Structure 1
Amino acid sequence: MMLPHHRILVLLTIVSLPATSFALGADVPETGKDVPKGVVTKYTFDQSKIFPGTVRDYWIYVPQQYDPAKPACVYVNQDNVQFNAPAVFDRLIHAKEIPVVIGVFVTHGRVKALADSALDRFNRSYEYDGLGDQYARFLLEEILPEVEKKSTSDGRPIRLSKDGNDRCIGGSSSGAIAAFTAAWERPDAFRRVFSSIGTYVGLRGGNVYPTLLRKYEPKPIRVFLQDGSTDLNIYGGDWWMANQEMERSLSFAGYEVRHVWGEGGHNATQATEVFPDAIRWLWKDWPSPVKAGEGSPQLREIIHPGEAWTLVADGYKFTEGPASNAKGEVFFNDIPNAKTYKIALDGTVSLFLPDSQKANGQAFGPDGRLYVVATGTDQVLAYDDGKASVVADGIRGNDLIVRNDGTIYVTNPSRTSTEPSKIWMIRPGGEKQVVDTGLKFSNGVTLSPDQSLLYVAESRSRWVYSYQIQEDRTLAFKQKYYHLHVPDNADDSGADGMCVDRDGRLYVATRMGVQVCDQAGRVNCIIPTPNGKVSNLRFGGENFDTLIATCGDRVFKRKLKVKGANAFQPPLRPAPPRL
């Protein structure tokens, strides 16, 4: 959608001044003599622990209307003072078109060379172009607290709002993707994004954003995009096409997004022209909160609008192994404390086993018993009314699933560099057999709804393997079948526990949240958990329409539109996938 342009003077020359404080806006004709001028002050920061050894300059803009009695809204910009932002803020704050905003303008870091014969290490691409939360943490844990240690030119303390709805972040080129990434990773801290000629290309992984936007459960972010048709087209990608992909993906997922496209190149000319209108739109309706999008059709098939994760219980060391019985009650383990707990249908949590032998993965069988991988004794145990019996010895297992015919499949991950990772099959009579080896770290395991396929997560890669179960219950036709997303700050997906719904979707606990795959092996949706952790999943509740997630020291639940398929029940044949 095109916005009307408000032209303001573009400063083409930046002069380094010895003074650290100066007023801006006098040379902008539209500002007017009656508009109060804010003050911009320059500082240097060289104490970063997140980017150790770096030094950088930053500037703080404080409008005259700022009152320290109320924390101010915040605008953060990468790459110095851009877009004549202080003058624009002077005018828009005076006209009450945006709230009182303190601006923080930050350059990228440099690691200074130890000698004149050597180059500094320039951190711009490293800090700005990469995905992950590192740069957001740098702003939130280091720069913004440093800003609040300062005071205004007339001695007023600087107080910044901590509410993401009160914060906007922007930049140009690599600074633009850095702004978007900060909001993407931390929407609790930044929810309004101004992006000019954004580097959403294959320099450090930014090219995946158009795909992730379509799959992730939408976040409360509002985005303004600007680019021109003669922008860069180089080895890393095509900026012009990448920005259009971003706009289409944001629109597809139902985000609030506006854009201005032009004919310009990789420069700030058009961005400076449209910045006032973009800022007006980004702050529209403030303080009403920025809303999240509706999500993709695939996501809307699964989640209820307005139905979020809720906390079941917390205070554990590490939770794992959720398993649901025929009633829909869910049992989970706190492995380090060697205890098993039960979540009743009314949501109350009670102690089930005071000593679980450090149980990890577990599942109910068709006989109603709870089958458990006991990591403390290298056994598979079965519990009946709280009393254990040994099913198999000598298995250093991780997770298991029990088929409707009583066959048990157990993952046995590698514990040393020389030990092979295994998959065990235990027949109903107790006979055990290794039915596959060779995975780097076999972890979560589950069955397709029709129980003809076994799925095994390989934590140290991006794959979930699929095997066909033969008539003798052995495995055949092994494939790297499910292709998972891997976060930028890791070398693998960290795939762990899994479960399936009755339509054949596979739900995988990963580093990026719950990745929901279709039967054809493709990730359709990604649903993050509240604390960013998840080790295992199971459908529970009276109708098996509540997803239970073990998430580190906490357990969460979320009611969905779909129902889980239980391996202890008769097989279900879902509809074929849409290819």
Structure 2
Amino acid sequence: MNRRSGIEAIRFHPCLIACLIASTAFGQTPQSPRPAFPTRNPHTPGYVAATQLPDGAVPSPTADGNFIIGPTHPPAPETTTPDLTNGSVVEFTMSSADSKYYPGIARDKGTFGTPDPTDPAKLVITTSHPAPYTRNVAVYVPKAYVPGSEAAFIVGADGTDRMLFTALDGLIAEQKLPVMIAISIGNGSGDAQGSERGLEYDTMSGRYAEFVENEVLPRVETEAHVKLTHNPDGRATMGGSSGGSCALIMAWYHPDLYHRVLTYSGTYVNQQWPYDASTPHGAWEFHEHLIPGSKRKPIRLWMEVGDRDLFNPNVMRDNMHDWVEANERMAKVLAAKKYHYQFVFAVNAGHVDRAVKAQTLPEALEYVWQGYKPSR
């Protein structure tokens, strides 16, 4: 695909900060930061055809397809309420010492890795080692939840998502969404290859979904005094950056557990570590092979990318580290397979752009939950 150049300032994100740490010898010598990312034009040849919306507007929550929003991003009223008036939050901590799935790893500070000299798509990490962690879990419970009843829920990545809780607090009360529990799970620290967060979020397998199912959700039910549905149609996943790719990974490998996915700046790129020959290009495999080569799964997906999103921010020169191109390719293969999806290209937006999230989150949640019928 052609890329339109043009340098603008960007909003930094933890994923970017970690990815910018590169090395010239197996993970030891940091490299100088790269320039700001180019601004991509949503009308670039090869990108999906998309409907340009008036500035400040968002798509209809009932519309499938591709949309362009911006350049200004006024927040939705449901994301700006200062206090939770229709629900409460319960928090607890989990330790690596208690996990059978993730006993903990970390990459040495100031190190990254080097491409395998025989394969630039493969990263060699020599500075990752066992390390303990703790993670915080925050659970939003709406007042409308009836104790003892089985509730729908949404699982989010990267810790307490106050904006999600705020949006649900209003939308559930307005009966625009079903009564649901929201569960924000902290990551195990670090970012990208060689880190605990990278291991959890970028690994192409069902392991993280199984960790959530068997170690997190039982604690949620105990600590928050709720009962969570086992119906996959009443379960959603959500995240930004690698947390976004993780959200789709959970549903892709376990459609028996999750049918609804919401992602901001999804890391559908080559960031998996350790290397796996069955998915050699990590989450890039979604649009390269997995979705095109598989029968359509019962997944409904909302996704967003910014015009100044990440572009090749590390030492790997494998042509699989352009977040905009990756999300564009996702939209193309989802359409070809006739998935129910909505793709938002945000103009004047960086990586997991907070202003874009504040503008779009209520509509995104309504779109993701279209068609859900709670069990009586």
Normalising by structure 1, we get a TM-score of: 0.42
Task: Measure the CA separation in 2 of the matches of 1:250 and 1:83.
Answer: 30
Q: Which amino acid aligns with 2:100?
A: K
The structure carrying a bigger strand percent of its residues is 1
Q: CA deviation at 1:122?
A: 3.9
Which digits, 9 at most, give the CA deviation of each residue in 1:478-525, with x for residues without a partner?
xxxxxxxxxxxxxxxxxxxxxxxxxxxxxxxxxxxxxxxxxxxxxxxx
Contact 2:78 2:170 in 1 (8 A): no
Task: Measure the CA separation in 2 of the matches of 1:138 and 1:227.
Answer: 28
Relative distance call for 1:243 and 1:72 in structure 2 (3 A) is same
Does structure 1 residue 249 correspond to structure 2 residue 333?
yes
Q: Partner residue of 1:275?
A: 361
Task: Measure the CA separation in 2 of the matches of 1:278 and 1:26.
Answer: 18
Q: Partner residue of 2:136?
A: 57
Q: CA deviation at 1:97?
A: 1.1
Q: Partner residue of 1:81?
A: 160
1:136-285 alignment to 2 at 5 Å? 136-151=209-224, 157-204=225-272, 205-210=282-287, 211-234=289-312, 235=314, 237-263=321-347, 264-269=349-354, 270-285=356-371
Contact 1:232 1:266 in 2 (8 A): yes
Task: Measure the CA separation in 2 of the matches of 1:45 and 1:82.
Answer: 17
Relative distance call for 1:150 and 1:83 in structure 2 (3 A) is closer
Task: Measure the CA separation in 2 of the matches of 1:144 and 1:45.
Answer: 12
Q: CA deviation at 1:55?
A: 2.1
Relative distance call for 1:98 and 1:9 in structure 2 (3 A) is closer
Does structure 1 residue 45 correspond to structure 2 residue 71?
no
Contact 1:80 1:107 in 2 (8 A): yes
Match of 2:208 among 109, 130, 135: 135
Contact 1:6 1:277 in 2 (8 A): no
Q: Which amino acid aligns with 2:101?
A: I
1:392-411 alignment to 2 at 5 Å? none
Q: CA deviation at 1:60?
A: 0.7
For this pair of structures, how many residues does the alignment match?
256
Which of the pair has the greater relative contact order for Cα pairs under 8 Å at 6+ separation?
Answer: 2
Contact 1:6 1:276 in 2 (8 A): no
Q: Which amino acid aligns with 1:52?
A: P
Which digits, 9 at most, give the CA deviation of each residue in 1:314-354, with x for residues without a partner?
xxxxxxxxxxxxxxxxxxxxxxxxxxxxxxxxxxxxxxxxx
Relative distance call for 1:83 and 1:267 in structure 2 (3 A) is farther
Q: CA deviation at 1:103?
A: 0.6
Q: Which amino acid aligns with 2:138?
A: W
Relative distance call for 1:6 and 1:216 in structure 2 (3 A) is farther
Relative distance call for 1:288 and 1:99 in structure 2 (3 A) is closer
Task: Measure the CA separation in 1 of the matches of 2:163 and 2:81.
Answer: 12
Contact 1:83 1:268 in 2 (8 A): no
Contact 1:50 1:134 in 2 (8 A): yes
Determine what percentage of the aligned residue pairs are the same residue.
30
Q: CA deviation at 1:90?
A: 1.0
Q: CA deviation at 1:106?
A: 0.5
Q: CA deviation at 1:267?
A: 3.0
Match of 1:71 among 127, 132, 150: 150
Task: Measure the CA separation in 2 of the matches of 1:168 and 1:73.
Answer: 8
Contact 1:213 1:249 in 2 (8 A): yes
Contact 1:194 1:223 in 2 (8 A): yes
Task: Measure the CA separation in 2 of the matches of 1:103 and 1:249.
Answer: 30
Q: Which amino acid aligns with 1:57?
A: N
Contact 1:194 1:224 in 2 (8 A): yes
Q: CA deviation at 1:100?
A: 0.6
* Unaligned segments of structure 2, at least 5 residues: 1-50, 60-72, 105-132, 273-281, 315-319
Q: CA deviation at 1:145?
A: 1.2
Contact 2:310 2:322 in 1 (8 A): yes
Does structure 1 residue 27 correspond to structure 2 residue 78?
no
Look up the SS of the partner of 2:140 in the other structure: strand
Contact 2:306 2:353 in 1 (8 A): no
Task: Measure the CA separation in 2 of the matches of 1:108 and 1:80.
Answer: 7
* Unaligned segments of structure 1, at least 5 residues: 12-24, 29-34, 112-120, 152-156, 290-579
Look up the SS of the partner of 1:217 in the other structure: coil
Contact 1:83 1:275 in 2 (8 A): no
1:450-465 alignment to 2 at 5 Å? none
Task: Measure the CA separation in 1 of the matches of 2:162 and 2:305.
Answer: 14
Q: Partner residue of 2:24?
A: none
1:526-545 alignment to 2 at 5 Å? none
Q: Which amino acid aligns with 1:172?
A: G
Task: Measure the CA separation in 1 of the matches of 2:164 and 2:328.
Answer: 25
Does structure 1 residue 92 correspond to structure 2 residue 193?
no
Relative distance call for 1:93 and 1:165 in structure 2 (3 A) is same
Task: Measure the CA separation in 2 of the matches of 1:160 and 1:268.
Answer: 31
The structure carrying a bigger helix percent of its residues is 2
Q: Partner residue of 1:576?
A: none
Contact 2:236 2:258 in 1 (8 A): yes
Q: Which amino acid aligns with 1:150?
A: E
Task: Measure the CA separation in 2 of the matches of 1:218 and 1:82.
Answer: 30
Q: Partner residue of 1:314?
A: none
Look up the SS of the partner of 2:136 in the other structure: strand
Task: Measure the CA separation in 2 of the matches of 1:267 and 1:191.
Answer: 22
Q: Which amino acid aligns with 1:43?
A: F
Which digits, 9 at most, give the CA deviation of each residue in 1:463-488, with x for residues without a partner?
xxxxxxxxxxxxxxxxxxxxxxxxxx
Look up the SS of the partner of 1:126 in the other structure: helix
Q: CA deviation at 1:229?
A: 1.3
Relative distance call for 1:110 and 1:231 in structure 2 (3 A) is closer
Q: Partner residue of 1:571?
A: none
Task: Measure the CA separation in 2 of the matches of 1:285 and 1:218.
Answer: 18
Which digits, 9 at most, give the CA deviation of each residue in 1:45-86, with x for residues without a partner?
112110014421110110111112321110100011337111
Q: CA deviation at 1:41?
A: 1.9
Q: CA deviation at 1:285?
A: 2.2
* Larger Rg computed on CA atoms: 1
Task: Measure the CA separation in 2 of the matches of 1:9 and 1:94.
Answer: 13
1:326-345 alignment to 2 at 5 Å? none
Relative distance call for 1:277 and 1:51 in structure 2 (3 A) is same
Task: Measure the CA separation in 2 of the matches of 1:83 and 1:197.
Answer: 19
